[in-house]
Amino acid sequence: MTQAPGSQAPQQLFDRRTLAARRARRRADAMFLHQMARDEVEDRLSLVNRTFTAPAVVCPFPEVWDGFAPGAKVVQDDDVLALEAGAHDVVIHAMSLHWANDPVGQLIQCRRALKEDGLLLVVLLGGQTLRELRAAMAEAETIVMGGLSPRIAPMGEIRDLGGLLQRAGFALPVADLVPLTAEYRDLTHLIHDLRGMGETNALAQRLKRPAPRALFQLADHIYREHFANAEGRLPATFELVCLTGWSPSDSQQKPLRPGSAQMRLADALKVPESKL
């Protein structure tokens, strides 16, 4: 899209160059969330009464999807997706939509890549992810630095994320979630894992200077005081949100128009009709 003379480009929430650098330092032993996302996708596809022959996967780490399906096209989650229009009967968008500066635009590109009545399946991190870390860091930063700075990316709640499918033009949208909890020895152990999966701070407005050690020491103390379990370990919540939608087709079921019902609800349920 050509930018009008004198106009300013929209502000970006995420610094994609920094995100790429963070992801380049990934470790194979820290990729459990991405592997769980793949397992979730495979389980859900096994429940769909259809054989898919032209799959595509949008993801940050192609190695996680090795051997996923014969002939599957695996593409990077760039701002512009390398997907051919109408070429796929299923598109998987895996563990990257929560880093998108334009999530609706990503979904629209996926819809355009689908054949008629093709399936989109998205897995991303949801709003309750790292809720304990957010709380501990916010309290510690207020005490140590006198205010808050952008440290942990905002993530959408399931209700809002489901609405993105409708905005992108998908039919029969469904959103549900899979809550997960991991346990860590201390805050350093948790941050080490987040770095190993490429999920550390890439916000465009993040502070560029190093944080003082005292900040993380206090955050560890607060985390432990409020959230430690009986064994003294620190639980960390992760929330996998799963979105499914279908590219529109005349063969799909359509909701009845208002007023078209042939029977009253009370009659269908065989109960007296309420006068309230």
Q: If you write DSSP's letter for every residue of 163-189 in order, what string do you get?
A: HHHHHTT-EEEEEEEEEEEEEESSHHH
| pLDDT attached to residue 1 | 42
Read off φ and ψ for residue 27, nearest 5 degrees.
-125, 140
| pLDDT attached to residue 2 | 41
| pLDDT attached to residue 96 | 96
Q: What is the pTM of this model?
A: 0.85
| pLDDT attached to residue 5 | 46
Give the residue ranges of the chain where pLDDT is below 70.
1-10, 253-276
Provide the 3-class DSSP secondary structure of residue 245.
strand
| pLDDT attached to residue 7 | 42
Q: Are the C-beta atoms of residues 161 and 242 closer than 8 Å to each other? A: no
Q: Please state, in angstroms and rounded to a whole number, the distance separating the CA atoms of residues 100 and 16.
A: 9
Q: Are the C-beta atoms of residues 90 and 44 closer than 8 Å to each other? A: no
Cβ neighbours of residue 201 under 8 Å, at least 6 residues apart?
A: 150, 151, 152, 153
- The residue whose two tokens read 């051919």 is 84
Q: Please state, in angstroms and rounded to a whole number, the distance separating the CA atoms of residues 109 and 92.
A: 12
| pLDDT attached to residue 152 | 78
Q: Cite the beta strand spans of the chain per DSSP E.
A: 55-59, 73-76, 88-94, 114-125, 171-184, 234-246
Domains present along the chain, CATH in parentheses: 16-249 (3.40.50.150)
